Chains A and B, each alone.
Chain A
Amino acid sequence: MARNSIQNNIRRLRFEADEMTQQQLADAARVSRQTIVAIEKGNYSPSLELAFRLAFIFKTPLEEVFLYDPEQDKGKKG
């Protein structure tokens, strides 16, 4: 299910990283392009390891890549 409480700036960061393609990012992060698409759309929240890997690829802090919205998280279990 989509976890809207976690948003991301991957699309913007890709654009800023010399218009990096989803496939290039997927190869660098060692995941499939579909996984990058799902993360960008907010359909999949990556593991902590993959999140850090993405931040490392963009040479930026984790909170610059992923944002947590507590308002969206209200009433959710787990």
Chain B
Amino acid sequence: MTYQEKQNVVNMVSGLLITAVYALIVFQKHQQGVFDLTQDYNKWGVLFLIFIGVSVAARIVILIIFHIINAIATREEKVPEEDERDKLVKLKAIRNSYYAFTGGFVLSVIGLALGMPVHWIFIAFVVVGLIAEILENSSQIYYYRKGV
């Protein structure tokens, strides 16, 4: 497995873990009555902003740990520089991710129009965002292996 493929796997797993843990904490607080997410829509904004901060910080820490472990395991300290193929792979993967997010967003809006409760659209954002991220990373692995 190449460095890029390993990094994509780490990104996918960390994205899943961070989202799952954060969602669990928020859901528990909601159940305990700390806040009511079915009524308080402003709270969703606050929770999303906190999530972005937590997610960025956690990913930085995870990536640093990944670099250290990878350097020890492969005895390769230098991080490979991104070349034109890496950029093309990334670009195509981002396109797939964008399609997935747009599709999910449209489906959520259709759901809303059909009478789905408003708070469901926020949950849909989280799920769709996670799916889009997984698709981006898995697309990169696919293009690295099958060619671009």
Residue ranges of A at the interface with B (Cβ–Cβ < 8 Å): 1-2, 30-32, 34-35, 38, 41-44, 46-47, 50
Ranked 4 nearest A-B pairs via Cβ: A43-B147, A31-B83, A35-B85, A2-B147
Chain B positions within 8 Å of A38 at CB level: 85, 147-148
Main secondary structure of the interface of A (DSSP, over half): loop
Tell which of B83, B146, B147, B148 touches A32, judged by Cβ atoms closer than 8 Å: B83
- CB pair B147–A47 under 8 Å, yes or no, is no
Tell which of B4, B86, B147 touches A41, judged by Cβ atoms closer than 8 Å: B147
Residues of B in contact (CB 8 Å), total 12
Tell which of A1, A30, A47 touches B148, judged by Cβ atoms closer than 8 Å: A1
Most buried by B among A2, A42, A44: A44
User: 16 A-B contacts, Cβ less than 8 Å apart?
Assistant: A1-B147, A30-B83, A31-B84, A31-B85, A32-B80, A32-B83, A35-B85, A35-B86, A38-B85, A38-B147, A41-B147, A42-B147, A43-B146, A43-B148, A44-B85, A50-B84
Asked if B81 CB lies within 8 Å of chain A CBs, one says yes
Chain B positions within 8 Å of A32 at CB level: 80-81, 83, 85-86
Binary flags per residue of B72-101, CB closer than 8 Å to A gives 1, else 0: 000000001101111000000000000000
Which residues of B1-55 have CB atoms within 8 Å of chain A's CB atoms?
2, 4
Closest to B144 in A: A34
Chain B positions within 8 Å of A44 at CB level: 85, 147-148
Bound CA–CA A30/B85 (angstroms): 12
